[in-house]
Amino acid sequence: MSVVIPAYNAAQHLHAAVGSALAQTENRLEVLVVDDASTDATRELAVRLASEDARVRLLCNDVNKGVAASRNCALAEARGDWIALLDADDTWLPQRLEQLLMVGAGADVVADDVFIVREDGDGSGGGSEAVSFLRWANFDIRTPHRLTAAEFVQHDLGFLKPLFRRSFLSEKSLQYDETLRVAEDFYFYVHVLLAGATWVQVRDAYYSYRRRAGSLSRDSENIFRQHAASSAELLDSPAVREDRALLLVVLRFHKGVHERRAKHVVLQLIRQRRFGELARVLRARPGDGLLTLMVISQNLRLRMRRRLRHPFHPVKARILE
């Protein structure tokens, strides 16, 4: 088993992530930490962890290349029969690998549910809450379940962190698209499924995904633009075009990506009071006009809800038992 951990400025949480991998009941593994040119103490911490346990190996990027390139770096160096993905600020329950390997004995890919842990911005854990990703994605399954590409796209399951049989990735020459800085997991997983992988999905959750407040990128417009371009490429792929059911799902997904991007652009222009530019955008893309009205209406409803939640003369609320 090769555990792949890309790490960029992850000194605060890397020790816990690596520790959760080393504490697995299935302990025949190596942990590949890829330092992506961090500017904090990530590399020094990884060196110390490697000196304390021979199963930890440190790989280093000379310049910051992103998660996709870091994962590819580790894939090229991996020695295990399986590849396990772990982000540098996430953790596993101790039995994760053992349980997934038992279920996925005849599969190319096996994955569990993910608990999304939302924390306060300072990372202190105060006010944190855990949410089941599969439940949030409205994907109710019986275990084990053979996941299809159409189901994956329909429910947008890119948050999952599967185990991959390394021989399958090698035989199909599958790698991450290093041009992507957003949704790189989603598109990699889709191409794995389109290559014919047998994906076994279980409903149990052994993976804890840390999602911090304010974690969205500041360069949101480029992210949405890249996501739209990637979904368009997926739509044009022969494997999708040859499967009518999958094609319809990908069409809806691509439309949804476009709508989210358009909504983001409209909201930004409204918030920044750039109404002249907003008018030019709507002339260039008339179809976004209705979306603009929907966004404005939604904002008004949200403001009204805030007013109702925080009236000028607050009264004490009674908790109903």
Find the mean pLDDT for residues 111-133.
Answer: 74
Please determine, for residue 312, whether its predicted confidence score (pLDDT) is greater than 60: no
CATH of the domain at 135: 3.90.550.10
In a domain, residue 321? The reply is: no
Last residue of a domain, one of 212, 244, 278: 212
Residues 162, 279 within the same domain: no
**Quick check: helix, strand or coil at residue 174?**
coil
Band (pLDDT 50/70/90 cuts) for residue 288 is low
Band (pLDDT 50/70/90 cuts) for residue 256 is confident
In a domain, residue 32? The reply is: yes
- Per the structure, how many domains does the chain have? 2
Q: Are strands 199-212 and 145-147 parallel, antiparallel or unpaired?
A: antiparallel
Last residue of a domain, one of 183, 212, 241: 212
Residues 133, 81 within the same domain: yes
Of 293 and 54, the structure prediction assigns the larger pLDDT to 54
**Quick check: helix, strand or coil at residue 156?**
coil
**Helix H or strand E encompassing 287:** none
Domain residues for the domain of 280 are: 220-309
- Alpha-carbon distances of 131 from 111, 114, 186, 211, rounded to whole Å: 17, 8, 20, 11
- What whole-number distance in Å separates Cα of residue 211 and Cα of residue 215? 7
pTM comes to 0.81
Residues 256, 164 within the same domain: no
Of 49 and 219, the structure prediction assigns the larger pLDDT to 49
In a domain, residue 117? The reply is: yes
Last residue of a domain, one of 212, 235, 265: 212
Residues 111, 168 within the same domain: yes
Side chain identity at residue 69, one-letter code: A
